Amino acid sequence: MKLLMEDWALPEIDLTLCNRCGTCVARCPTGAVEMGSDGPFIARPADCTYCTECESMCSQEAITCTYEIVWGMDS
Amino acid sequence: MESTVQNLRRVTLFTDLSDEALTRVANVAFRRTYEADETIIFEGDPCRAAYFIAEGRVRVYRLSPGGREQVLARLGSGQTFNTVPPFQPQGVNHATVEALTPVALYVIVREDFRRLVGECAELALVILQDFADRLDHLTNLVEDLSLHTVRGRLARFLLEHASAAPGGSGVGIQATRHWTQEEIAAHLGTVRDMVGRTLRAFADAGLVRVERQRIILLDREGLEAEVQH
């Protein structure tokens, strides 16, 4: 099945809160985050596992990984 | 002065105050700005003032003796902090508050705040209503903390915040609002790490499945049993 990237949720980076410290780039286990001229961005979305490491390490709380709580089909 | 009144009107606590009462508040409130990352007040310091956010976002947190940080709240424009300690005789700041963005605050020093509440019954009533709401919330939280473990509290949170009926949509799931793990932790009176750890334990037990941006509840009876813990 083809992966539709618009359905591929990614951590959200609020550049107005970001201080460009680069921790998210350094700590991303899959190297999906890079530092651009405006700040960090998910350069390789397909590599992002949504592990939330970037969110937990961000001292500025500029990165958020959100979850919706839903019922599974058989529950 | 008019702009101060207008800005203070946007503070939730003051929304319904009469113009006269709000003008009295404006007479003693002064504006102060902070840069992002600047600490506005420190936990444990003597309380000097109450604060009302005009612009920007702040983070309210406490540190455990071991240095573990518990984020109590993130507040934005229209919200308030440090309104309780001014009424305690030896009031100290209950938490540290740090600017997340550039912040503009209206500040009312402790003595002015106390005097104003004593002189203006209308203001006293809205402050009492606010305190009553906080007391209600804290009473429920204390009950929760006393009677339930983090596992139990998280299980209840998941059951209460998942969509009302299971399997209602075409793909077998119904969407609810989005939460960060830190928001869930603040709601439960614990820290983010505990939420992550407990979610993994629930997943290992087959109660939930954690996917990209979704916590999928799999076992209602199992989660309800956890609530009793």
**Using one digit for the tens of pLDDT, what is the confidence trace for B121-131?**
999 999 999 99
Q: How far is A11 from chain B (nearest CA, A)?
A: 9
**Interatomic CA distance for residues B10 and A19, integer angstroms:** 29
Q: Residue B67 has what DSSP assignment? A: -
What are the phi and psi torsion angles at A51 (to 5°)?
A: -80, -15
CA angle A55, A57, A62 (to 5 degrees): 50
The answer to whether the beta carbons of residues B80 and B13 sit under 8 Å apart is: yes
**Interatomic CA distance for residues B217 and B220, integer angstroms:** 7
For B213, the closest of A60, A68, A75 (CB atoms) is A68
Chain A residues closer than 8 Å to B161 by CB:
69
CB contact under 8 A, A73 and B173: yes
ipTM of the complex: 0.82
For A52, the closest of B57, B181, B214 (CB atoms) is B181
For A72, the closest of B176, B178, B209 (CB atoms) is B209
Model-wide pTM > 0.90: no
The answer to whether the beta carbons of residues A71 and B175 sit under 8 Å apart is: no
**Using one digit for the tens of pLDDT, what is the confidence trace for A24-36?**
999 999 999 999 9
Per-residue pLDDT band at A63 (split at 50, 70, 90) = very high
- State which residue of chain A sits closest to B183, comparing Cα positions: A66
| CA nearest neighbour of B87 among B60, B118, B44 | B118
